[in-house]
Amino acid sequence: MKPCPFCAIVEGNAGEVVYEDAAALAFLDHSPLAKGHCLLIPRAHVATIFEADAATLQALAVASKAVGTAIRDAMAADGLFVGQNNVVSQSVAHLHVHLVPRWRGDKLFSHGQMVWRRVRYRDDAERTGIAARIRAEIG
């Protein structure tokens, strides 16, 4: 069985972390739908929402608001898309919540369907700068 890449981030081995507490951790998505797109995960390895206990889900919900608010403010976004896949379209088998900044007219959805168009950061400096702005908003 392959090691979980999200567990490696929890262990401090990778990722641009923007938030962490005793139960959860958030980091910039390496293949974002928009600049500032973060993934929020439980520290403990849980594959899907179906295996998660109530405490884990509560921690993710509370952290989603804190990190989502920080993303919105740091990116001067109009709103936020919050999404969570299980098994189907779940590229990493570690429970994670997508927190994607939204702007009116951003075309993330087209004719009622989500458009998974990825963006790239210009360079590492842009990526680390955006992460720093999000962290600053969290305080």
Of 139, 56, 136, 135, whose CA–CA distance to 94 is shortest? 56
Cα separation, 63 vs 138, in Å, equals 10
Average pLDDT over residues 15-35: 95
Cα separation, 6 vs 67, in Å, equals 18
pLDDT band at 85 (very low <50, low <70, confident <90, very high): confident
pLDDT at 122: 93
When the pLDDT of each residue in the chain is averaged and rounded to a whole number, the result is: 92
Share of the chain above pLDDT 90, in %: 76
| Count of the separate structural domains present in the chain | 1
Residue type present at position 63: A
Least confident span in 58-72, 87-101, 104-118: 104-118
CATH number at 81 reads 3.30.428.10
Pairing of strands 38-42, 97-102: antiparallel
Cα separation, 79 vs 53, in Å, equals 28
Structural domain for 41, as ranges: 5-138
pLDDT at 14: 80
Average pLDDT over residues 37-66: 96
pLDDT band at 139 (very low <50, low <70, confident <90, very high): confident
Neighbours of 121 (CB within 10 A): 18
Average pLDDT over residues 100-114: 82
Cα separation, 86 vs 103, in Å, equals 26
Residue 112 has pLDDT above 70, yes or no: no
Average pLDDT over residues 127-133: 96
pLDDT at 49: 94
Tokens for 36? 């500032």
Cα angle 133-97-15, degrees, rounded to a multiple of 5? 50
Least confident span in 48-52, 84-88, 119-123: 84-88
pLDDT at 29: 95
Residue type present at position 19: Y
Which backbone phi and psi does 90 adopt, to 5 degrees?
A: -95, 100
